[in-house]
Amino acid sequence: MLKNLTPQPPDKIIEMIAMYKEDPRDGKVDLGVGVYKDEAGRTPVMRAVKAAEKRLLESQDSKSYVGLLGDLGFVDEMRKLVLGDAVPAERVSGAQAPGGTGAIHQLLELVRMAKPGATVWFSDPTWPNHPAIVKHVGLNAKTYRYFDAETCEVDFAGMMEDLAGLEADDVVLIHGCCHNPTGANLTAEQFDKVTALLIEKGATPFIDFAYQGFGDGLEEDAANVRAMAAKVPQMLIAASCSKNFGLYRDRVGAAFVIVGPDTELGVVKGAMASLNRLNFSFPPDHGAKVVEIILKDPELRADWEAELKEMRERMLVLRADMADALKRETNSDRFEFFRKHRGMFSRLGISSDAVLKLRADKGIYIVGDSRVNVAGLPGERIGELAKAIAGAV
Ligand code: LMR
């Protein structure tokens, strides 16, 4: 029976991790997978995480099961981090999930449970795992225009035109901040317009919130999501601690469902617990407990926020330096968007041939759609990288 298996299409981001590793060249640069790197090229364990792990190691006296929805203390802290007081806790059902991807998967299964064959819209382009999981769980997929390849900014008119085709009960995946892969983000006003359209059409927003704190700040990055949450009758949110807590391999995420008066919260909670049970039983505890310790302890929380701010500000400096260098090298404003974009990524808008040339000739690894991991830019080599990019276009 197993002989019937056919080769699965590789994920183009994950594929690059191996390609980069195998490249023997000394001066190679990894601008592929979205992992934060410091000035020395390391992805450190954050200070507050180390401290919380020490506490956990000393205080934990059992490894027995926690609960199907995970650690409810963690879930509630995450609810507050993501939603603030935008909606009353009594309207929110939350479940711990194995990373942001796990949360997306669980929520899409919940959509399928509520409405088999539902249609999920996502931005064109989006994180490649979105369409892959939508297909995997057997839901229908539609895309909306999002990115203007000429300006490298949001194509808002195109987005609204496409979303005008929404039907009641459709689900619309939206990046809460720090759009992956483009780095181009909706303004507060645009977010409001999308909110009004979704309400008018009876569609449900599904926020992928993987980069809170990587754009303009923890609160600033959540502002649009909270404003939308306060208005819509129902909403899905997949939050991740991979990036803002640097807990990549520990798989820490949370799935939230905000319900309206027509939906019984207890039934949603039961469905989320059941889906966890069916897929993996109990979500992994360690990283979630670490996050809970940090968020509940004022000192650790302050240190975490301070380190996250250092990371965010470093990315902003790299953005400005790269935009300056590209301006010098190309003698044009073509790459000015690099300064304006927010989050870990920017799409350069260069051809796939140019991307391949950079890889082959210079060992510079950029995802095929020309997405650059800003946090992977080595500060002291920006001039050299800008020159290579200018040369390749
Ligand atoms: C990325 O987009 O590079 C990250 O979110 C890592 C991943 O899982 O793809």
CATH number at residue 165: 3.40.640.10
Active-site residue 304, yes or no? no
In a domain, 373, yes or no: yes
Query: For 214-233, how does the pLDDT look when each residue is reduced to its tens digit (9 = 90+)?
Result: 999 999 999 999 999 999 99
Query: For 96-148, how does the pLDDT look when each residue is reduced to its tens digit (9 = 90+)?
Result: 999 999 999 999 999 999 999 999 999 999 999 999 999 999 999 999 999 99
Final residue of a domain: which of 296, 326, 359?
296
Final residue of a domain: which of 241, 272, 296?
296
CA–CA distance, 32 with 21 (Å, rounded to integer): 12
> What pLDDT shows up at residue 10?
87
In a domain, 329, yes or no: yes
Q: Is 309 in the same domain as 342?
A: yes
In a domain, 367, yes or no: yes
Instruction: Answer for the pair 377, 322: CB distance below 8 angstroms, yes or no.
Output: yes
Q: Domain range spanning residue 367? A: 11-44+300-392
Q: Is 197 in the same domain as 321?
A: no
Residue 389's pLDDT band (cuts 50, 70, 90): very high
Q: What is the mean pLDDT of the chain?
A: 96
In a domain, 6, yes or no: no
In a domain, 5, yes or no: no
Q: Is 103 in the same domain as 243?
A: yes
Structural domains in the chain (count): 2
Residue 269's pLDDT band (cuts 50, 70, 90): very high
Q: Is 96 in the same domain as 232?
A: yes
CA–CA distance, 320 with 318 (Å, rounded to integer): 5
Q: Is 158 in the same domain as 39?
A: no
Q: Is 288 in the same domain as 140?
A: yes
Active-site residue 388, yes or no? no
Q: Long-range contacts made by residues 315-323, C-beta under 8 angstroms, separation at least 24?
A: 315/214, 315/344, 315/374, 315/375, 317/379, 318/374, 318/375, 318/377, 318/379, 318/382, 319/346, 319/374, 321/379, 321/382, 322/374, 322/377, 322/382, 322/385, 322/386
Q: Is 128 in the same domain as 265?
A: yes
Q: Is 94 in the same domain as 225?
A: yes
CB-based contacts of 220: which residues, under 8 Å, 6+ apart? none
Residue nearest atom 6 in ligand 1 by C-alpha distance:
34
Tell me which of 71, 208, 250, 285 is the catalytic residue.
Answer: 208
How far away, in angstroms, is 249 Cα from ligand 1 center?
12
Q: Is 306 in the same domain as 256?
A: no
Q: Residue 11 pLDDT more than 90?
A: no
CA–CA distance, 214 with 227 (Å, rounded to integer): 19
Q: Is 321 in the same domain as 289?
A: no
Q: Mutate which of 14, 19, 43, 127 to test ligand 1's pocket (most atoms within 8 Å of Cβ)?
A: 127
Residue nearest atom 1 in ligand 1 by C-alpha distance:
34
In a domain, 320, yes or no: yes
Active-site residue 250, yes or no? no
Give the atom of ligand 1 at the shortest distance from the alpha carbon of 373.
3
CA–CA distance, 135 with 138 (Å, rounded to integer): 5
In a domain, 4, yes or no: no
Q: Is 33 in the same domain as 97?
A: no
pTM value is 0.97
Final residue of a domain: which of 296, 322, 352?
296
Q: Ligand 1: which residues within 6 Å by Cβ?
A: 13, 33-34, 127, 180
ipTM, two decimals: 0.95
Q: Is 291 in the same domain as 305?
A: no
How far away, in angstroms, is 128 Cα from ligand 1 center?
9
In a domain, 382, yes or no: yes
Residue 385's pLDDT band (cuts 50, 70, 90): very high
